[in-house]
Structure 1
Amino acid sequence: MLKEWRHRRAVQRVKPGDGRALKRFRWWQMLTRALFHLRLTHDDGRQTLYAVDVRHQNQSEGYVKAHLYLDGRHHAESRVPAVFPVPGGTVEVRASGFGLKRCHYVTAEGAEFTLVPDPASAEGRRARLDRAHPVLSRGIGFLSRIVLVIGLVLLILQLAEQVTRAPEGLAQYVGTFTSPIDLPAWGNTVIGLVTAAASTERALRLRYHWLLDGGTG
């Protein structure tokens, strides 16, 4: 019920586009822009090309916007999470603090298909690495997950120590806890940077876990 209500709200947020042309992806936009494509074939054999363009750095209004282009022209826009109605289903877009965590075409029957990232984008380059070097790609993905697990464990240990530090608080019921790992300030900074990089790498593959990536963000 809640999911359906959120879906309807997202559809209602969609605004019509202004017809402007889709700008080509530039190499310097790899960390600030995501561009995905979807080609749909109609019953009469005619094809239409949709594109989802998200500018991560353009948050002057306090939220990220997703723009939908149809055959190279601006067709619609919405704040994320966005749900764009298209023939045969919807295009769903969701973002995290590190990029996109969802950019899928969902049919009316419930089947889901990931949109194809633009070859020039960071997501497209990551997908090309996965195709060309699958073993290396899996290794990088595994390393990202391990880094996030380690970062989460360290965060839990530090929080437990902070919560039980005050004797008049939780400590009087469960006792005090001292973390076995005491990192200096620079160590915490390094851990923060490494975990942010790991979550960014996962976002390039539209991977997201509320505890691992959400805890990092």
Structure 2
Amino acid sequence: MDPDAPAASRRLRPVRRLDVLHRSLHEIDLGDGPVRYAVEVDTGRDWTAVLYADGAFVAEADLPARFPVPGGVIEADHGLYGVSRMHFVGADGGERRLAPARGTLEDLRGRFGRRHPRASRAIGAAAVAVLLVNLVLAAPQALELVSEVPRIAERFGTFESPVDLPWWLNASLYAAGAAAATERVLTFRRNRIVDFETIWTEG
């Protein structure tokens, strides 16, 4: 898709191999026919969502986005680690998650889980463990940094973290946490405690 092309001529571009690094595409069939609606988020270009109907451009909006469609709306949002919401919300309040388009990173992760369920569960468990460790170790250090802000220090005093890790370990934990958070987003899992690192970075 050429983002500078006239709206009427813009068509949905097939997912290519390198697109997994920056492009998310989810689909759902709605209405009579039915019509296949697709929502594209391309972080390599901008932070907008684009709606297509049977491959033809319909609308574009900044994230978080809401697109009116037959029977309800499609809600889309994206955080630091990937798509945080991609749901059809019906007029009755019911929700359906849009399916990842074939070839996207979410689709590839889902197919891996179906083919290798044991390995998939092990990866999921490791992601939870990493995020919990990060939560325990990072929270006191973050609180210490916040407490050193002059206005906060004057009112509440300063806090000294009992955790003092070397920079290389902090960097390693951050990298592992980012990978674990991405895994959770790709598998559409969410818990307000486990996924705190993911939730606070949502758009």
TM-score of the aligned structures, taking structure 1 as reference length: 0.77
Question: Quick one: which of 25, 28, 32 aligns to 1:38?
Answer: 28
Q: Which residue does the alignment assign to 1:82?
A: 65
Which 10-residue stretch deviates more, 141-150 or 189-198?
Answer: 141-150
- Relative distance call for 1:216 and 1:147 in structure 2 (3 A) is farther
TM alignment of 1:138-153, pairs within 5 A: 138-153=121-136
Does residue 120 (structure 1) correspond to residue 120 (structure 2)? The answer is no
Letter of the 1:52 partner, please give it: V
RMSD: 2.7
Q: 2:80 touches 2:201 (CA, 8 Å); kept in 1?
A: no
Q: Which deviations, in whole Å up to 9, do the C-alpha atoms of 1:148-171 show, x marking residues without a partner?
A: 1111111112134446679xx869
Q: Which runs of 5+ in 2 are unaligned?
A: 1-5
Q: Which residue does the alignment assign to 1:10?
A: none
Q: Secondary structure at the match of 2:132?
A: helix
Does residue 190 (structure 1) correspond to residue 172 (structure 2)? The answer is yes
How many residue pairs get aligned? The number is 192
Does residue 25 (structure 1) correspond to residue 15 (structure 2)? The answer is yes
Letter of the 1:49 partner, please give it: R
Counterpart-to-counterpart distance in 2, 1:164 and 1:92: 37
Q: Which deviations, in whole Å up to 9, do the C-alpha atoms of 1:29-68 show, x marking residues without a partner?
A: 11200011111242xxx21111111101223xxxx10000
By how many angstroms is 1:24 displaced? 0.8
Q: Which residue does the alignment assign to 2:36?
A: 49
Counterpart-to-counterpart distance in 2, 1:189 and 1:23: 37
Letter of the 2:78 partner, please give it: A
- Relative distance call for 1:27 and 1:173 in structure 2 (3 A) is closer
Letter of the 1:212 partner, please give it: E
Q: 1:152 touches 1:216 (CA, 8 Å); kept in 2?
A: no
TM-score of the aligned structures, taking structure 2 as reference length: 0.82
By how many angstroms is 1:172 displaced? 11
By how many angstroms is 1:186 displaced? 1.1
Q: Secondary structure at the match of 1:34?
A: strand
Counterpart-to-counterpart distance in 2, 1:100 and 1:57: 14
Q: 1:148 touches 1:216 (CA, 8 Å); kept in 2?
A: no
Q: Which runs of 5+ in 1 are unaligned?
A: 1-15
The percent identity for this pair of structures is 36
By how many angstroms is 1:147 displaced? 0.9
Q: Secondary structure at the match of 2:21?
A: coil
Which 10-residue stretch deviates more, 128-137 or 118-127?
Answer: 128-137
Q: Which residue does the alignment assign to 2:118?
A: 135
